[in-house]
Amino acid sequence: MPPAPRIRRSRRTKIIATLGPASSTPETIERLYRAGADVFRLNFSHGTHADHAARIAAIRDLERRLGRPIGILADVQGPKLRIGRFAAGRVHLQTGQRFRLDRDPTPGDADRVELPHPEILEAARIGTTLLLDDGKLRLRVLHTRTDHLVTEVVVGGPLSDRKGVNVPDVPLAIPALTAKDRQDLAFALEHGVDYIGLSFVQRPEDVAEARAIANGRAWIMAKIEKPQAIENLDAVVALADCVMVARGDLGVEMPPEEVPLLQKRIVRTARAAGKPVVVATQMLESMIAAPAPTRAEASDVATAVLDGADAVMLSAETASGQFPYEAVNIMDRIIARMEQDPLWRNIVEASRPAPERSAADAIAAAARQVAGTLGARAICAFTTSGGTGLRAARERPEAPILGLTPSVETARRLAVVWGVHAALLPEPCRPDATVEEAGRVAMQYGFAAPDEDVVVIAGQPFGVAGSTNALRVTRCARPGTAAAAAAAA
Protein backbone atom coordinates (compact mmCIF):
# COMPACT_ATOMS: atom_id res chain seq x y z
CA MET A 1 0.00 0.00 0.00
CA PRO A 2 1.20 3.58 -0.59
CA PRO A 3 3.02 4.92 2.47
CA ALA A 4 1.19 8.23 2.87
CA PRO A 5 -2.62 7.82 2.78
CA ARG A 6 -4.53 11.08 2.99
CA ILE A 7 -8.07 9.87 3.81
CA ARG A 8 -8.85 10.36 7.48
CA ARG A 9 -12.30 10.30 9.11
CA SER A 10 -13.43 13.15 11.33
CA ARG A 11 -15.38 10.79 13.62
CA ARG A 12 -14.80 7.76 15.84
CA THR A 13 -17.94 5.67 15.18
CA LYS A 14 -17.60 3.64 11.99
CA ILE A 15 -20.02 3.06 9.10
CA ILE A 16 -20.84 -0.26 7.40
CA ALA A 17 -22.49 -0.04 3.98
CA THR A 18 -24.16 -3.03 2.31
CA LEU A 19 -23.41 -3.56 -1.37
CA GLY A 20 -26.05 -4.73 -3.83
CA PRO A 21 -27.63 -3.93 -7.20
CA ALA A 22 -27.56 -0.19 -6.49
CA SER A 23 -23.93 -0.09 -5.40
CA SER A 24 -21.79 -2.71 -7.10
CA THR A 25 -19.82 -0.78 -9.69
CA PRO A 26 -16.23 0.15 -8.81
CA GLU A 27 -17.14 3.83 -9.24
CA THR A 28 -20.05 3.62 -6.79
CA ILE A 29 -18.02 1.64 -4.24
CA GLU A 30 -15.29 4.28 -4.32
CA ARG A 31 -17.88 7.05 -3.98
CA LEU A 32 -19.40 5.34 -0.93
CA TYR A 33 -15.98 4.90 0.66
CA ARG A 34 -15.07 8.54 0.12
CA ALA A 35 -18.47 9.53 1.57
CA GLY A 36 -17.66 7.68 4.78
CA ALA A 37 -18.09 3.90 4.51
CA ASP A 38 -15.37 2.12 6.51
CA VAL A 39 -16.55 -1.46 5.97
CA PHE A 40 -18.53 -3.02 3.12
CA ARG A 41 -21.08 -5.76 3.80
CA LEU A 42 -21.84 -8.56 1.35
CA ASN A 43 -25.26 -10.08 2.02
CA PHE A 44 -25.12 -13.76 1.06
CA SER A 45 -28.92 -14.01 1.26
CA HIS A 46 -28.83 -12.40 -2.19
CA GLY A 47 -26.55 -12.56 -5.20
CA THR A 48 -24.26 -15.21 -6.64
CA HIS A 49 -20.68 -16.04 -5.74
CA ALA A 50 -19.66 -14.38 -9.00
CA ASP A 51 -21.44 -11.18 -7.91
CA HIS A 52 -19.67 -11.18 -4.55
CA ALA A 53 -16.28 -12.02 -6.09
CA ALA A 54 -16.58 -8.97 -8.36
CA ARG A 55 -17.42 -6.74 -5.38
CA ILE A 56 -14.50 -8.09 -3.35
CA ALA A 57 -12.14 -7.48 -6.27
CA ALA A 58 -13.42 -3.89 -6.63
CA ILE A 59 -12.93 -3.22 -2.89
CA ARG A 60 -9.41 -4.60 -2.86
CA ASP A 61 -8.50 -2.61 -5.98
CA LEU A 62 -9.82 0.54 -4.29
CA GLU A 63 -7.82 -0.34 -1.18
CA ARG A 64 -4.63 -0.57 -3.24
CA ARG A 65 -5.26 2.70 -5.05
CA LEU A 66 -6.15 4.71 -1.95
CA GLY A 67 -3.66 3.08 0.40
CA ARG A 68 -6.25 2.51 3.14
CA PRO A 69 -7.25 -0.85 4.68
CA ILE A 70 -10.95 -1.53 4.06
CA GLY A 71 -12.97 -4.13 5.96
CA ILE A 72 -15.28 -6.63 4.25
CA LEU A 73 -18.14 -8.32 6.13
CA ALA A 74 -19.58 -11.53 4.64
CA ASP A 75 -23.04 -11.93 6.15
CA VAL A 76 -24.24 -15.52 5.73
CA GLN A 77 -27.96 -16.19 5.49
CA GLY A 78 -28.49 -18.65 8.33
CA PRO A 79 -31.44 -21.04 8.68
CA LYS A 80 -34.34 -19.26 7.00
CA LEU A 81 -37.61 -20.88 8.07
CA ARG A 82 -40.42 -20.56 5.54
CA ILE A 83 -43.85 -22.01 4.82
CA GLY A 84 -44.58 -23.72 1.48
CA ARG A 85 -46.63 -22.51 -1.46
CA PHE A 86 -50.34 -21.91 -2.02
CA ALA A 87 -52.35 -23.19 -4.98
CA ALA A 88 -53.52 -19.64 -5.69
CA GLY A 89 -50.23 -18.06 -4.62
CA ARG A 90 -51.97 -16.13 -1.86
CA VAL A 91 -54.67 -16.58 0.81
CA HIS A 92 -56.28 -14.48 3.52
CA LEU A 93 -56.36 -15.86 7.06
CA GLN A 94 -59.23 -14.70 9.26
CA THR A 95 -58.65 -13.94 12.93
CA GLY A 96 -60.05 -16.79 15.03
CA GLN A 97 -60.00 -19.48 12.33
CA ARG A 98 -58.10 -22.78 12.53
CA PHE A 99 -55.05 -23.20 10.29
CA ARG A 100 -52.97 -26.33 9.82
CA LEU A 101 -49.22 -26.52 9.21
CA ASP A 102 -48.05 -29.93 7.96
CA ARG A 103 -45.41 -31.87 6.02
CA ASP A 104 -47.56 -32.34 2.90
CA PRO A 105 -45.86 -30.59 -0.07
CA THR A 106 -49.18 -30.18 -1.88
CA PRO A 107 -49.83 -26.45 -2.47
CA GLY A 108 -51.93 -25.04 0.36
CA ASP A 109 -55.19 -23.13 0.72
CA ALA A 110 -56.94 -21.04 3.36
CA ASP A 111 -57.07 -24.09 5.70
CA ARG A 112 -53.52 -25.46 5.50
CA VAL A 113 -50.02 -25.09 4.09
CA GLU A 114 -46.75 -27.03 4.14
CA LEU A 115 -44.24 -26.39 6.94
CA PRO A 116 -41.05 -28.09 5.69
CA HIS A 117 -39.24 -27.81 9.02
CA PRO A 118 -39.58 -30.87 11.30
CA GLU A 119 -37.59 -29.00 13.96
CA ILE A 120 -40.56 -26.66 14.49
CA LEU A 121 -43.00 -29.57 14.67
CA GLU A 122 -40.80 -31.24 17.29
CA ALA A 123 -40.26 -28.14 19.42
CA ALA A 124 -43.76 -26.66 19.36
CA ARG A 125 -46.01 -27.07 22.39
CA ILE A 126 -49.62 -26.12 23.07
CA GLY A 127 -49.61 -22.34 23.39
CA THR A 128 -46.45 -21.81 21.32
CA THR A 129 -46.58 -18.64 19.19
CA LEU A 130 -45.72 -18.75 15.49
CA LEU A 131 -45.12 -15.49 13.63
CA LEU A 132 -45.51 -15.36 9.84
CA ASP A 133 -44.34 -12.77 7.31
CA ASP A 134 -42.07 -10.77 9.66
CA GLY A 135 -44.64 -10.89 12.45
CA LYS A 136 -47.57 -9.52 10.43
CA LEU A 137 -49.57 -12.67 11.20
CA ARG A 138 -49.66 -14.46 14.56
CA LEU A 139 -50.71 -18.06 15.22
CA ARG A 140 -51.11 -19.96 18.50
CA VAL A 141 -50.61 -23.73 18.59
CA LEU A 142 -53.71 -25.65 19.76
CA HIS A 143 -52.67 -29.25 19.01
CA THR A 144 -49.35 -30.88 18.18
CA ARG A 145 -48.71 -34.06 16.21
CA THR A 146 -45.54 -35.58 14.80
CA ASP A 147 -46.49 -34.55 11.26
CA HIS A 148 -48.60 -31.40 11.75
CA LEU A 149 -49.69 -28.55 13.99
CA VAL A 150 -53.20 -27.21 14.41
CA THR A 151 -53.16 -23.49 15.18
CA GLU A 152 -55.57 -20.65 15.86
CA VAL A 153 -55.10 -17.43 13.93
CA VAL A 154 -54.62 -14.71 16.57
CA VAL A 155 -53.83 -11.94 14.08
CA GLY A 156 -54.93 -12.57 10.51
CA GLY A 157 -54.18 -11.04 7.16
CA PRO A 158 -52.93 -11.85 3.66
CA LEU A 159 -50.33 -14.62 3.37
CA SER A 160 -48.43 -15.59 0.23
CA ASP A 161 -45.91 -18.21 -0.88
CA ARG A 162 -42.70 -18.91 1.03
CA LYS A 163 -43.18 -16.31 3.76
CA GLY A 164 -40.91 -16.56 6.78
CA VAL A 165 -41.74 -18.25 10.09
CA ASN A 166 -40.43 -17.10 13.47
CA VAL A 167 -40.76 -19.15 16.66
CA PRO A 168 -39.85 -16.80 19.53
CA ASP A 169 -41.06 -18.99 22.41
CA VAL A 170 -38.86 -22.07 22.11
CA PRO A 171 -35.29 -22.89 21.06
CA LEU A 172 -35.05 -24.88 17.85
CA ALA A 173 -32.61 -27.72 17.25
CA ILE A 174 -31.32 -26.04 14.10
CA PRO A 175 -27.62 -25.31 13.54
CA ALA A 176 -26.68 -21.70 12.85
CA LEU A 177 -24.87 -22.81 9.68
CA THR A 178 -26.83 -24.51 6.90
CA ALA A 179 -25.29 -26.37 3.95
CA LYS A 180 -25.60 -23.16 1.91
CA ASP A 181 -23.91 -21.19 4.69
CA ARG A 182 -20.98 -23.59 4.73
CA GLN A 183 -20.49 -23.15 0.99
CA ASP A 184 -20.74 -19.38 1.33
CA LEU A 185 -18.38 -19.41 4.30
CA ALA A 186 -15.76 -21.41 2.40
CA PHE A 187 -16.05 -18.98 -0.53
CA ALA A 188 -15.79 -15.91 1.70
CA LEU A 189 -12.75 -17.20 3.58
CA GLU A 190 -11.05 -18.20 0.34
CA HIS A 191 -11.52 -14.63 -0.91
CA GLY A 192 -10.06 -13.07 2.21
CA VAL A 193 -13.03 -11.36 3.87
CA ASP A 194 -12.39 -9.87 7.31
CA TYR A 195 -15.56 -10.68 9.25
CA ILE A 196 -18.18 -13.42 9.06
CA GLY A 197 -21.69 -12.32 10.05
CA LEU A 198 -23.27 -15.32 11.80
CA SER A 199 -27.07 -15.15 11.54
CA PHE A 200 -29.68 -16.46 14.00
CA VAL A 201 -27.25 -17.36 16.75
CA GLN A 202 -29.00 -19.13 19.63
CA ARG A 203 -26.19 -20.69 21.68
CA PRO A 204 -22.47 -20.14 22.24
CA GLU A 205 -21.92 -23.47 20.48
CA ASP A 206 -23.12 -21.80 17.25
CA VAL A 207 -20.29 -19.28 17.52
CA ALA A 208 -17.77 -21.98 18.42
CA GLU A 209 -18.67 -23.93 15.27
CA ALA A 210 -18.10 -20.91 13.02
CA ARG A 211 -14.84 -20.07 14.82
CA ALA A 212 -13.54 -23.58 14.20
CA ILE A 213 -14.28 -23.28 10.48
CA ALA A 214 -12.76 -19.79 10.18
CA ASN A 215 -9.67 -20.91 12.13
CA GLY A 216 -8.43 -17.36 12.61
CA ARG A 217 -8.88 -16.32 8.99
CA ALA A 218 -11.69 -13.86 9.86
CA TRP A 219 -13.37 -12.40 12.93
CA ILE A 220 -16.75 -13.92 13.79
CA MET A 221 -19.51 -11.32 14.18
CA ALA A 222 -22.40 -12.86 16.14
CA LYS A 223 -25.75 -11.36 15.13
CA ILE A 224 -28.06 -11.06 18.12
CA GLU A 225 -31.58 -11.49 16.72
CA LYS A 226 -33.10 -14.39 18.70
CA PRO A 227 -34.50 -14.41 22.25
CA GLN A 228 -32.31 -17.44 22.96
CA ALA A 229 -29.21 -15.39 22.11
CA ILE A 230 -30.33 -12.79 24.65
CA GLU A 231 -30.65 -15.55 27.27
CA ASN A 232 -27.07 -16.65 26.48
CA LEU A 233 -25.73 -13.16 25.80
CA ASP A 234 -22.65 -13.19 28.04
CA ALA A 235 -21.48 -16.58 26.73
CA VAL A 236 -22.14 -15.64 23.08
CA VAL A 237 -20.26 -12.33 23.42
CA ALA A 238 -17.36 -14.08 25.17
CA LEU A 239 -16.86 -16.45 22.20
CA ALA A 240 -17.48 -13.94 19.40
CA ASP A 241 -14.91 -11.49 18.04
CA CYS A 242 -17.58 -8.83 17.50
CA VAL A 243 -21.35 -8.48 17.86
CA MET A 244 -24.23 -7.07 15.82
CA VAL A 245 -27.53 -5.81 17.22
CA ALA A 246 -29.67 -7.17 14.35
CA ARG A 247 -32.87 -5.31 15.11
CA GLY A 248 -34.90 -6.72 12.18
CA ASP A 249 -35.61 -10.25 13.40
CA LEU A 250 -35.01 -9.21 16.99
CA GLY A 251 -37.89 -6.76 16.59
CA VAL A 252 -40.09 -9.52 15.15
CA GLU A 253 -39.46 -12.05 17.91
CA MET A 254 -39.41 -9.59 20.82
CA PRO A 255 -42.02 -6.96 21.75
CA PRO A 256 -41.18 -3.62 20.09
CA GLU A 257 -40.94 -1.85 23.44
CA GLU A 258 -38.14 -4.23 24.46
CA VAL A 259 -35.87 -3.58 21.48
CA PRO A 260 -34.43 -0.17 22.55
CA LEU A 261 -33.52 -1.58 25.96
CA LEU A 262 -32.05 -4.73 24.43
CA GLN A 263 -29.95 -2.57 22.10
CA LYS A 264 -28.48 -0.77 25.09
CA ARG A 265 -27.92 -4.03 26.97
CA ILE A 266 -26.14 -5.71 24.04
CA VAL A 267 -23.94 -2.65 23.42
CA ARG A 268 -23.08 -2.42 27.10
CA THR A 269 -22.24 -6.14 27.33
CA ALA A 270 -20.04 -6.05 24.23
CA ARG A 271 -18.23 -2.91 25.38
CA ALA A 272 -17.52 -4.42 28.80
CA ALA A 273 -15.98 -7.41 27.04
CA GLY A 274 -13.93 -5.18 24.74
CA LYS A 275 -15.66 -6.55 21.63
CA PRO A 276 -16.69 -4.27 18.72
CA VAL A 277 -20.49 -3.89 18.50
CA VAL A 278 -22.55 -2.85 15.48
CA VAL A 279 -26.10 -1.45 15.53
CA ALA A 280 -28.00 -2.44 12.37
CA THR A 281 -31.33 -2.51 10.52
CA GLN A 282 -33.64 0.26 9.32
CA MET A 283 -31.40 3.08 10.54
CA LEU A 284 -32.23 5.28 7.54
CA GLU A 285 -34.97 3.10 6.03
CA SER A 286 -36.88 5.94 4.36
CA MET A 287 -33.78 6.75 2.29
CA ILE A 288 -34.40 3.66 0.18
CA ALA A 289 -36.77 5.93 -1.72
CA ALA A 290 -36.07 9.45 -0.39
CA PRO A 291 -32.95 11.64 -0.59
CA ALA A 292 -33.12 12.65 3.10
CA PRO A 293 -33.93 10.74 6.31
CA THR A 294 -36.78 11.38 8.69
CA ARG A 295 -35.92 13.25 11.88
CA ALA A 296 -36.72 10.09 13.84
CA GLU A 297 -34.14 8.15 11.79
CA ALA A 298 -31.50 10.82 12.41
CA SER A 299 -32.24 10.49 16.12
CA ASP A 300 -31.93 6.68 15.85
CA VAL A 301 -28.41 6.98 14.44
CA ALA A 302 -27.54 9.53 17.11
CA THR A 303 -28.85 7.22 19.86
CA ALA A 304 -26.60 4.39 18.66
CA VAL A 305 -23.64 6.77 18.84
CA LEU A 306 -24.61 7.85 22.36
CA ASP A 307 -25.07 4.20 23.38
CA GLY A 308 -21.41 3.64 22.50
CA ALA A 309 -21.66 1.47 19.37
CA ASP A 310 -18.44 0.92 17.45
CA ALA A 311 -20.28 1.06 14.13
CA VAL A 312 -23.70 1.64 12.58
CA MET A 313 -24.88 -0.17 9.47
CA LEU A 314 -26.83 0.60 6.31
CA SER A 315 -28.63 -2.30 4.62
CA ALA A 316 -31.15 -1.79 1.81
CA GLU A 317 -30.43 1.95 1.93
CA THR A 318 -27.16 1.36 0.06
CA ALA A 319 -27.76 -2.13 -1.41
CA SER A 320 -30.93 -1.45 -3.37
CA GLY A 321 -32.01 2.10 -2.53
CA GLN A 322 -32.18 5.03 -4.88
CA PHE A 323 -29.80 7.23 -2.85
CA PRO A 324 -26.87 5.12 -1.57
CA TYR A 325 -24.35 7.99 -1.58
CA GLU A 326 -26.72 10.34 0.21
CA ALA A 327 -27.41 7.69 2.88
CA VAL A 328 -23.72 7.25 3.71
CA ASN A 329 -23.11 10.99 3.55
CA ILE A 330 -25.88 11.94 5.98
CA MET A 331 -24.95 9.11 8.36
CA ASP A 332 -21.36 10.42 8.37
CA ARG A 333 -22.65 13.94 9.10
CA ILE A 334 -24.96 12.81 11.92
CA ILE A 335 -22.16 10.87 13.64
CA ALA A 336 -19.63 13.68 13.27
CA ARG A 337 -22.08 16.23 14.65
CA MET A 338 -22.95 14.06 17.65
CA GLU A 339 -19.28 13.52 18.48
CA GLN A 340 -18.63 17.26 18.45
CA ASP A 341 -21.18 17.89 21.19
CA PRO A 342 -20.05 18.10 24.85
CA LEU A 343 -23.01 15.88 25.81
CA TRP A 344 -21.49 13.01 23.81
CA ARG A 345 -18.16 13.24 25.66
CA ASN A 346 -19.95 13.42 29.01
CA ILE A 347 -21.90 10.26 28.19
CA VAL A 348 -18.73 8.52 26.97
CA GLU A 349 -16.98 9.32 30.23
CA ALA A 350 -19.93 8.19 32.35
CA SER A 351 -20.46 4.89 30.51
CA ARG A 352 -16.85 3.66 30.41
CA PRO A 353 -16.55 0.10 31.81
CA ALA A 354 -14.03 -0.54 34.56
CA PRO A 355 -10.71 -2.00 33.33
CA GLU A 356 -10.27 -5.74 33.69
CA ARG A 357 -7.54 -7.03 35.98
CA SER A 358 -4.92 -7.49 33.27
CA ALA A 359 -1.74 -5.76 32.20
CA ALA A 360 -3.25 -4.92 28.79
CA ASP A 361 -6.28 -3.20 30.33
CA ALA A 362 -4.18 -1.37 32.90
CA ILE A 363 -1.89 -0.05 30.15
CA ALA A 364 -4.84 1.00 27.96
CA ALA A 365 -6.54 2.81 30.85
CA ALA A 366 -3.29 4.54 31.76
CA ALA A 367 -2.77 5.58 28.13
CA ARG A 368 -6.15 7.31 28.08
CA GLN A 369 -5.39 9.14 31.32
CA VAL A 370 -1.89 10.18 30.28
CA ALA A 371 -3.08 11.36 26.86
CA GLY A 372 -5.84 13.39 28.49
CA THR A 373 -3.51 14.96 31.06
CA LEU A 374 -0.85 15.90 28.51
CA GLY A 375 -3.22 16.81 25.70
CA ALA A 376 -1.42 14.23 23.55
CA ARG A 377 -2.38 14.30 19.90
CA ALA A 378 -2.80 10.53 19.52
CA ILE A 379 -2.47 7.16 21.21
CA CYS A 380 -0.26 4.95 19.05
CA ALA A 381 -1.10 1.29 19.69
CA PHE A 382 1.37 -1.21 18.26
CA THR A 383 -0.73 -4.32 17.63
CA THR A 384 -0.06 -7.62 15.90
CA SER A 385 -3.40 -9.38 16.27
CA GLY A 386 -5.52 -6.29 16.95
CA GLY A 387 -5.83 -6.89 20.69
CA THR A 388 -3.98 -3.75 21.77
CA GLY A 389 -6.11 -1.64 19.44
CA LEU A 390 -9.26 -3.21 20.88
CA ARG A 391 -8.20 -2.51 24.47
CA ALA A 392 -7.34 1.10 23.61
CA ALA A 393 -10.74 1.55 21.92
CA ARG A 394 -12.55 0.04 24.93
CA GLU A 395 -11.34 3.04 26.93
CA ARG A 396 -12.96 5.50 24.48
CA PRO A 397 -10.12 8.05 24.82
CA GLU A 398 -10.50 11.61 23.66
CA ALA A 399 -7.28 11.30 21.64
CA PRO A 400 -7.57 9.40 18.35
CA ILE A 401 -6.07 5.90 18.22
CA LEU A 402 -3.47 4.96 15.64
CA GLY A 403 -3.47 1.18 15.27
CA LEU A 404 0.05 0.42 14.03
CA THR A 405 0.42 -3.10 12.69
CA PRO A 406 2.59 -5.06 10.25
CA SER A 407 -0.44 -7.20 9.29
CA VAL A 408 -2.78 -6.08 6.52
CA GLU A 409 -5.39 -8.54 7.84
CA THR A 410 -5.29 -6.90 11.27
CA ALA A 411 -5.44 -3.43 9.73
CA ARG A 412 -8.58 -4.39 7.81
CA ARG A 413 -10.26 -5.91 10.86
CA LEU A 414 -9.60 -2.74 12.87
CA ALA A 415 -11.73 -0.84 10.33
CA VAL A 416 -14.84 -1.68 12.39
CA VAL A 417 -13.33 -0.65 15.74
CA TRP A 418 -14.33 2.64 17.37
CA GLY A 419 -11.79 5.44 17.01
CA VAL A 420 -9.01 3.34 15.45
CA HIS A 421 -7.21 4.58 12.35
CA ALA A 422 -5.20 1.56 11.21
CA ALA A 423 -1.78 2.05 9.64
CA LEU A 424 0.52 -0.55 8.14
CA LEU A 425 4.11 -0.70 9.34
CA PRO A 426 7.12 -2.29 7.68
CA GLU A 427 7.77 -5.78 8.98
CA PRO A 428 9.45 -6.09 11.34
CA CYS A 429 9.59 -2.86 13.35
CA ARG A 430 12.73 -2.80 15.51
CA PRO A 431 11.79 -3.00 19.21
CA ASP A 432 14.19 -0.17 20.05
CA ALA A 433 12.62 2.08 17.41
CA THR A 434 8.93 1.78 18.32
CA VAL A 435 8.70 5.12 20.11
CA GLU A 436 10.40 7.11 17.35
CA GLU A 437 8.41 5.20 14.73
CA ALA A 438 5.16 6.13 16.46
CA GLY A 439 5.98 9.83 16.30
CA ARG A 440 6.98 9.61 12.66
CA VAL A 441 3.78 7.79 11.64
CA ALA A 442 1.59 10.14 13.70
CA MET A 443 3.02 13.09 11.76
CA GLN A 444 2.81 11.26 8.44
CA TYR A 445 -0.91 10.62 8.91
CA GLY A 446 -1.59 14.16 10.08
CA PHE A 447 -2.39 13.33 13.71
CA ALA A 448 0.50 15.29 15.18
CA ALA A 449 2.98 18.01 14.30
CA PRO A 450 6.65 18.41 15.32
CA ASP A 451 7.14 19.01 19.05
CA GLU A 452 3.70 17.58 19.91
CA ASP A 453 3.27 14.60 22.23
CA VAL A 454 1.88 11.17 21.43
CA VAL A 455 1.35 8.26 23.82
CA VAL A 456 2.72 4.87 22.75
CA ILE A 457 1.51 1.47 23.98
CA ALA A 458 3.06 -1.78 22.89
CA GLY A 459 4.15 -5.20 24.05
CA GLN A 460 7.56 -6.45 24.96
CA PRO A 461 8.75 -8.62 23.34
CA PHE A 462 7.43 -6.76 20.30
CA GLY A 463 5.27 -8.73 17.87
CA VAL A 464 3.93 -11.26 20.39
CA ALA A 465 0.11 -11.19 20.46
CA GLY A 466 -1.44 -10.47 23.85
CA SER A 467 1.70 -9.05 25.47
CA THR A 468 0.72 -5.37 25.88
CA ASN A 469 2.77 -4.21 28.84
CA ALA A 470 4.58 -0.96 27.96
CA LEU A 471 3.60 2.72 27.85
CA ARG A 472 5.78 5.59 26.71
CA VAL A 473 5.32 9.26 25.87
CA THR A 474 7.25 10.72 22.97
CA ARG A 475 7.52 14.14 21.42
CA CYS A 476 7.39 14.12 17.64
CA ALA A 477 10.80 15.03 16.23
CA ARG A 478 11.33 17.85 13.77
CA PRO A 479 12.46 16.75 10.31
CA GLY A 480 16.24 16.78 9.95
CA THR A 481 17.00 16.07 13.59
CA ALA A 482 18.90 13.01 14.74
CA ALA A 483 15.77 11.50 16.26
CA ALA A 484 13.83 11.93 13.02
CA ALA A 485 16.66 10.37 11.06
CA ALA A 486 16.74 7.40 13.44
CA ALA A 487 12.99 6.86 13.11
CA ALA A 488 13.19 6.93 9.32
CA ALA A 489 16.14 4.52 9.20
Give the tens place of pLDDT for each residue, 168-219: 989 998 988 999 999 999 999 999 999 999 999 999 999 999 999 999 999 9
Identify whether 3 is part of a domain: no
Edge to edge, the sheet with strand 401-405 lists 420-424, 401-405, 379-382, 453-459, 468-475
Q: Do 129 and 276 have their domain in common?
A: no
Residue 1: its pLDDT value, please? 42
pLDDT, residue 489, reads: 45
Q: What single string gives the DSSP state of each residue in 134-187?
A: TTTEEEEEEEE-SSEEEEEEEE-EEEETT-BEE--SS-----SS-HHHHHHHHH
Say if residue 295's pLDDT is above 60. Answer: yes
Same domain, yes or no, for 219 and 330?
yes
Q: Find the radius of gyration of the CA atoms of the chain.
A: 24
Q: Does residue 95 sit within a domain? A: yes
* 354: in domain: no
Identify whether 9 is part of a domain: no
Tell which residue, 432, 425, 421, 391, has the closest CA to residue 407.
425
User: Are both 193 and 338 inside the same structural domain?
Assistant: yes
For residues 108-116, average pLDDT: 97
Same domain (yes/no): 474, 366: yes
Rounded-to-5 percentages of helix, strand, coil across the chain: 40, 20, 40
**What DSSP line would sit under 126-144, residue for residue?**
TT-EEEETTTTEEEEEEEE
When pLDDT is cut at 50, 70 and 90, the band that residue 426 belongs to is confident
Domain boundary among 136, 166, 196: 166
> Cα–Cα distance between 419 and 400 in angstroms, integer?
6
pLDDT tops 50 at residue 373: yes
Judge whether 97 and 153 are in contact, CB under 8 Å: yes
Does some domain include residue 351? no
Does residue 364 sit in the same domain as residue 476?
yes
The reply to whether 250 and 317 lie within a common domain is yes
CATH code at 140?
2.40.33.10
The DSSP 8-state label assigned to residue 476 in this structure reads P
Task: Indicate whether 334 and 187 sit together in one domain.
Answer: yes
For residue 119, pLDDT over 90 is answered with: yes
Element (H, E) at 373: helix 359-374
Q: Which residue has the higher pLDDT, 377 or 427?
A: 377
Q: Which domain holds residue 465?
A: 359-488
Q: What is the SS3 assignment for 402?
A: strand
Task: Report the sign of the C-alpha dihedral through residues 160, 163, 167, 168, in that order.
Answer: negative
Task: Give the DSSP letter of residue 354.
Answer: P
Q: How confident is the model at residue 459 (pLDDT cuts 50, 70, 90)?
A: confident
Give domain status of residue 250, yes or no: yes
Average pLDDT, whole number, for the chain? 93
Q: Does residue 303 share a domain with residue 240? A: yes
Query: Which CATH number characterizes residue 458's domain?
Result: 3.40.1380.20
pLDDT at 485 over 50: no
Q: Are 316 and 399 in the same domain?
A: no
Within a domain: residue 171? no
My answer on whether 161 and 224 are in the same domain is no
Question: Tens digit of pLDDT for each residue in 297-307?
Answer: 999 999 999 99
Residues 324 and 221 in one domain: yes
Over residues 394-412, mean pLDDT: 97
Please report, for the domain that includes residue 56, its CATH number: 3.20.20.60
Residue ending a domain, choose from 343, 371, 396: 343
Residue type, 476: C
Q: How many domains does the chain have?
A: 3
Residue 49 domain-assigned (yes or no): yes
Mean pLDDT of 298-324: 98
pLDDT over 90 (residue 486) = no
Reply yes or no on whether the pLDDT at 4 is more than 60. no
Please give the Cα distance from 428 to 452 (Å, whole number). 26
HSE (CB half, 13 Å, CA atoms) of 92? 1
| Side-chain-side CA neighbours of residue 414 (13 Å) | 33
pLDDT band at 429 (very low <50, low <70, confident <90, very high): low
Task: State residue 3's pLDDT score.
Answer: 46
Q: Mean pLDDT across the stretch 20-49? A: 97
Can the peptide bond before residue 406 be classed as cis, meaning omega within 30 degrees of 0? no
Distance CA 463, CA 428 (A): 8
Beta strand extents in 376-467 (DSSP E only): 379-382, 401-405, 420-424, 453-459
Same domain, 67 and 150: no
Q: Please give the Cα distance from 160 to 220 (Å, whole number).
A: 34
Return the percentage of the chain with pLDDT > 70, whole number.
Answer: 94
What is the per-residue pLDDT for 77? Answer: 95
Whole-prediction pTM: 0.92
> What pLDDT is stored for residue 368 in this prediction?
97
CB–CB of 349/377 below 8 Å? no
Q: Which of 343, 370, 398 is the last residue of a domain?
A: 343
> Which active-site residues does the annotation give?
41, 82, 223, 281
